[in-house]
A and B are shown apart, each in its own frame.
Chain A
Amino acid sequence: MSPIAFLILATLTISSALLVVFSRNPIYSVLWLVICFFSITGHYILLDAHFLAAVNLIVYTGAIMVLFLFVIMLLNLNKETEPHKPVYLKAAAVLSGSLLMIILAASLQGYANQPPAIISESFGTAKGVGKVLFTDFLLPFEVASVLFITAMVGSVILAKKHVND
């Protein structure tokens, strides 16, 4: 885990996350979110989670962000149609968000800074994670497929204009 790579990635993650919240145009928000997820993929690579890095890239930046972009273009959103809160509510939101950050940082202050564990060759690869996934977590994995079918049916029914009885 190289410190310089971590610092660069962390700066990129946090600044792009801030730009997601504060950019005025929703399309820019989505594009900054893509950059944020790319840098999180970098974090996964630094943490030796190679399988997760690939899945994050494919599922998040590939599928979910394209879905967001499609919906924003379908709804024809832009800077002019963007609703805004009054200034005092925005200030309150920024204040409460920063207070939450201070509280979280203060409560995590005393956590012991342990060195990284010694890991095996297959740690975090498709082989290693797959072994754990298909032995210890086989039932949740199968239940997840049921969840996906439910989500598929649900989104098709919801997105249809009129359901014929």
Chain B
Amino acid sequence: MEELTASFNQIGIQHYLFLSAVLFSIGVMGVLYRRNFIVIFMSVELMLNAVNVLLAAFSRFNGDQSGQVFVFFIMVVAAAEVAVGLAILVMIYRNIRSTDINALRNLKW
């Protein structure tokens, strides 16, 4: 227990590694857990943000700003992805009248 409290005296890269590992696996869990395609999409955003936090942490601990530029580009791509993805989801909803991912099984044998 003493070791545990001592490890929190100085926040290091390891704490950020664990935080983003937990956040990423919550995102994976959300993709597997839910059936609503919008919530699945939000879980993907959660995974992207876990990686963003880790990149920012590495950039801080190594003193290199290139990591922050990478985070910036991930945000740019995520914004474009959300715009196109939500348009596709709205089109799917217009066609099948439901948000259930299970209705989209035409590619399954």
Same complex origin of A and B: yes
Question: Residues on A close to B: CB < 8 A?
Answer: 1-3, 6-7, 10, 13-14, 17-18, 20-22, 26, 29-30, 33, 36-37, 40, 43-44, 47-49, 51-52, 55-56, 59-60, 63-64, 67-68, 71-72, 74-75, 77, 81-85, 90, 92-94, 96-98, 100-101, 104-105, 108, 111, 113-119, 123-124, 128-129, 132-133, 136-137, 140, 144, 147-148, 150-152, 154-156, 158-159, 161
Select one of A83, A111, A151 contacting B35, CB under 8 A: A83
Q: Which B residue's beta carbon lies closest to that of A64?
A: B82
B28 contact set on A, CB distance < 8 A: 96-97, 100
| 9 nearest A-B pairs in the assembled complex, by CB-CB distance | A97-B29, A117-B63, A93-B32, A151-B80, A101-B25, A113-B12, A158-B87, A21-B30, A104-B21
- Quote the shortest CB–CB distance from A117 to chain B (angstroms): 3
Give A158's nearest chain B residue, CB to CB: B87
State the CA gap A21–B47 with chains docked (Å): 12
Q: Who on chain B is nearest to A131 by CB?
A: B65
Contact with A along B79-109 (1 / 0, CB 8 A): 1111110111111011000111110000000
Residues of B in contact (CB 8 Å), total 74
